[in-house]
Structure 1
């Protein structure tokens, strides 16, 4: 089955599609090596960074909490689903504990070498099977365009909440895109309003002669990426839903985007 995003079919030739490279075990505890890799590649693919049992436990909590909306029985009440998501799950202690669990919080403190700050606005993505077409998957973008009021050294963690093979619609990264984004940012030619670059992932890869990188993610995996790295979501063509979260850490002493200090809602304008 073809790999698509927003209905666009990705070119699966070796020139346009590749695989995310996990951080080798030999580098996992070498901070300098990790920083070198992040600067070079724009991401750190950390296989098994979290306890899969903790990840699956949060997925079960989510599943049970939103169940009264009918989301699992084919008679979904979207208004009730949004109420449960934004009033129960997102501001709830279970989600807060998951995002600040020691495996995440302590890793960032070690990696950044300073007191850390977790942005309160944290997103949960529930992508149902068969959702495709422009506007259904996260389009190509880099995070800094949404975080202009703070430091550009904020780091994002994308965490699949359960196994997420390619066909289930996980994140894909445009290889080494942070280099040209950073160069254009510094030149002042990419200071755009807060919006995506494009839904046309194949066209963007052709424009920059680059590959989209994909992976079969497993529960416990984490991808950390730069605020300049271009990424997007694939369409979910599987028979199960894709659940994921993306959260952002930075050094507490760096400027903080005040707009991201409220719980996430899909109508908050960010």
Structure 2
């Protein structure tokens, strides 16, 4: 959300696990509303995770920041070689997006079948993916948060959950994700600037005793409610943090439009959805039109951002858009 270091990382406690609820979708829904997350231990196929991890290590080798992996075990991640230029690494690991890393992983039969079992229906993946191959911090600063935020406020009217997957082991020093337990009531806790853009949650506004973290291992998967505050932690280890997150619609939730812009005006967007075809949706002052990096747009800036051919996600209620945003794989 925001790479600025706001404050020292808070103390955390172990999250609950929800493996015992698998298949009981009413109980899972209740747990998601109560806890603000599902955390499943050791449910994803580790061989499929290993194949995905090799895509990560291949790219890190190309960047020259790790030594050739060869037969070295990588389940606990891989160390920085001390000589590669980590300062100029692509922060969002765009090469992984170019290789279609997450969509290919999700198509693997073992992964797909497990996720259907966890979610209770065929997943509808919202094309918003974040890849992380975060290098060790190059200074001696103590561990910090990277910015408390919620995924829901910048995408109003779209009922999704965020899936976070460790590709290699992520312990406390490596960093990874911390998230709030039982703090997912539908309240926008983010700061809103003068343009109407959602910014990071002020750390001082959050309780100290709600944060969860654990040693995440390959095979684990975390799903978070869209209102659950969370943050990354800076990496104070000597290894790379390898993970990705993807958005999936909640069971039975109305699907947004996903497709290419056909035409655009300040108050109207026409989209050729990948499934239902072309649909025109009004834009008004309630619509959160935004860039990939959350900046809210108004008037002509909407037209400039969403030129015909741009792939977009459009949430809507009736004939009015709740959100217009680009798809995102990075």
TM-score range, shorter chain: 0.7 to 0.9
2:48–2:111: 8 Å Cα contact kept in structure 1? no
1:138 aligns with 2:149: no
CA distance in 2, matches of 1:189, 1:156: 17
Asked whether the equivalents of residues 96 and 131 of structure 2 are also in contact (C-alpha less than 8 Å), the reply is no
Q: CA deviation at 1:78?
A: 6.4
State the partner residue of 2:255.
254
Q: Which residue matches 1:197?
A: 201
Q: Which of 46, 51, 55 lines up with 2:45 in the alignment?
A: 51
1:155 correspondence with 2:150: no
Contact kept in structure 1, 2:15 and 2:214, CA below 8 Å: yes
* 5+ residue gaps, structure 2: 67-80, 258-312, 315-323
Q: Distance in 2 between matches of 1:33 and 1:84?
A: 35
Residues 51-96 of structure 1, C-alpha deviations (whole Å, 9 max, x = no match)? 12221221122111342222224232766x549942x420324432
Shift of 1:108: 5.0
Equivalent residue of 1:120, what SS? strand
1:64 counterpart = 2:51: no
- Aligned equivalent of 1:119: 126
* Unpaired segments ≥5 residues, structure 1: 266-270
Q: C-alpha deviations, 1:133-186, integer Å up to 9, x for none? A: 69x8531000012323x41x111101111111112101111221212xx1x35x
Match of 1:268 in 2: none
Distance change in 2, residues 1:84/1:112 (3 Å) = closer
TM-score normalised by length of structure 1: 0.75
Q: Whose Rg is larger?
A: 2
The partner residue of 1:129 within 136, 139, 144 is 136
After TM superposition, give the deviation of residue 8 of structure 1 in Å.
3.2
Residues 260, 22 of structure 1: alpha-carbon distance in 2 compared, 3 angstrom cutoff: farther
In structure 1, C-alpha distance between the alignment counterparts of 2:216 and 2:116, rounded to whole Å: 24
SS of the residue corresponding to residue 247 of structure 1 reads strand
Q: Which residue of 1 aligns with 2:230?
A: 231
Cα 1:112–1:241 shift into 2, 3 Å = closer
* Match status 1:217 vs 2:216: yes
Q: 1:119·1:260 contact (CA, 8 Å) conserved in 2?
A: no
Secondary structure in structure 2 of the residue aligned to 1:215 = coil
- CA separation in 2, counterparts of 1:84 and 1:26? 34
What's the TM-score once normalised by structure 2's chain length? 0.63
Q: In structure 1, how many angstroms separate the alpha carbons of the residues matched to 2:191 and 2:102?
A: 34
Preserved contact between residue 6 and residue 147 of structure 2 (Cα < 8 Å): no
In the alignment, the residues of structure 1 paired with residue 168 and residue 160 of structure 2 have an alpha-carbon distance, to the nearest angstrom, of: 25
Secondary structure in structure 1 of the residue aligned to 2:103: helix
Q: CA deviation at 1:246?
A: 0.5
Structure having the higher strand fraction is 2
SS of aligned partner of 1:9: coil
Q: Secondary structure at the match of 1:67?
A: helix
User: Equivalent residue for 2:23?
Assistant: 29
List aligned pairs for 1:30-109, cutoff 5 A. Answer: 30-72=24-66, 73=81, 74-76=83-85, 81-82=89-90, 85-86=93-94, 88-102=95-109, 104-107=111-114, 109=116
Q: How many pairs were matched up?
A: 242
